[in-house]
Amino acid sequence: MPQFLSKIVGQDKVISILEKFFENQNIPHALLFSGNKGVGKYYTALQFSKEINFKIISNQIIKNKFNQLDEPYIKYVVPLPDTKTEKIFTENTQKLNKEETFLLTKYYEEINKKINNPYFYSALSSKSSIRINQIREIKKFLTLDFNEIPFRTVIIEEANLMTDEAQNALLKNLEEPPNGIVFILLVSNLEQVLPTIKSRCQIINFEPLSDESLNKIISKYYPNEAKLLMPLSQISNGSIYDFLKIMEYDINEIKKEILQILRLIFTANYCKVVDYFERNSKDFGKLSLIILLIKLWFSDCLKVKTHLNNVYFSEFVSSYEKYNQNYPNTNFYQIDKILTEAINDLSKNINLTLLYLHTIFEIRQLSK
């Protein structure tokens, strides 16, 4: 296996496709990596950029140029929040005012985080877009007379956030690509990409990461969060990005809320439970987390009952013991099934109030 592609985690099918390009010495001028955020598209693009230049990248200085996203070796384009942020890249930095200088500093801080951690997702990308001026900057990159390496790469992060105007401008480059240039478009929503762009790219689909792959990546790049990966992997959708979004919630506070929810269910105070869920109904991430943690709470109850020690939340052991004393005939397996279905149903177009009522009624009936 080629040396750089072998470092990619959890995308064996993608590696196989890229290897064939490399082995056949037939490198497409434009690739489109399609898949959810946080599954390794950027890291794969970076490793492929190194692989196609492997004959000279043994030179550590040149390898560092790729790792540091240095131009003219590699061009990295990200969505920007507004035209004010975009402006700082097209004007002389000496003319920037205090606010613009701050934005420029913030941008480079975010890029440095990406350089140090390929699974970092820039805060700049939230509610952002890629505009035509950024595509014009790519054109300047393409016109540089630079033959130090066989292939220079243009990596466009969240290319689906290009405006239509920007996509049409990029199309001209894809139709007549310069020699020695490889475009790699990273896309999390393929439907937002114009058909004319897609038709000129080799599309490669990325799958969600397995729990094993998630664990390997999280342990390396986010070691402090690794201990919570396994209980939360069920709602992480095989994505580092989704897992980290979940970690933004105050898990300890939500665990306290869950104990209150369970008390209300066991005392048949259903209206207050439904009211709680409806107050949080716009935040599907939090709702999924709440239902998952309730699911893990019951899983822990069963472990305590069967004298297993590997509970998820050891601080609740006394409440597990009390529950098992009060409800010795609980059907834990059916409760687990009901809660798993509830997590899956949250993303469907169904009446959420009925979903909440059905779930809490079932939990109460199965707690005996």
pLDDT in tens, 138-157: 988 988 888 888 899 999 99
**H/E stretch holding 219:** helix 211-221
Least confident of 112-121, 286-295, 339-348: 339-348
Find out if CATH 3.40.1260.20 is the number for domain 5-207.
no
Residue ranges in 248-282 assigned as alpha helix (H): 251-266, 270-279
pLDDT for 2 equals: 74
Note the pTM of the prediction, 2 decimals. Answer: 0.79
Whole-angstrom distance, CA of residue 49 vs CA of residue 41: 12
Burial degree of 316 (CB within 10 A; 0-12, 13-18, 19+): buried
The tokens for 260 are 């209150």
Whole-angstrom distance, CA of residue 280 vs CA of residue 286: 7
The pLDDT-based confidence of 285 (bands split at 50, 70, 90) is confident
pLDDT for 300 equals: 92
Whole-angstrom distance, CA of residue 34 vs CA of residue 159: 10
Angle of helix 251-266 relative to helix 270-279, nearest 10 degrees, comes to 150
pLDDT for 108 equals: 83
Least confident of 99-103, 190-194, 342-346: 99-103
Determine contact, residues 125/79, Cβ cutoff 8 Å. Answer: yes
Determine contact, residues 174/200, Cβ cutoff 8 Å. Answer: yes
pLDDT for 283 equals: 82
Determine contact, residues 367/312, Cβ cutoff 8 Å. Answer: no
How much is the mean pLDDT over the chain?
87
Read off the pLDDT of residues 48-89 as tens digits, 9 standing for 90 and up.
999 988 777 667 788 888 889 998 899 999 988 765 555 566
Could you give the C-alpha distances from 97 to 88, 92, 100, 134, 349, in angstroms and in order? Answer: 10, 11, 5, 21, 48
The pLDDT-based confidence of 91 (bands split at 50, 70, 90) is low
- The count of C-alpha atoms lying within 13 angstroms of the C-alpha of 13, restricted to the half-sphere facing its C-beta, is 9
pLDDT for 153 equals: 94
Is the pLDDT score of 33 beyond 70? yes
239 φ/ψ sector (left φ>0, alpha ψ -120 to 50, else beta):
beta
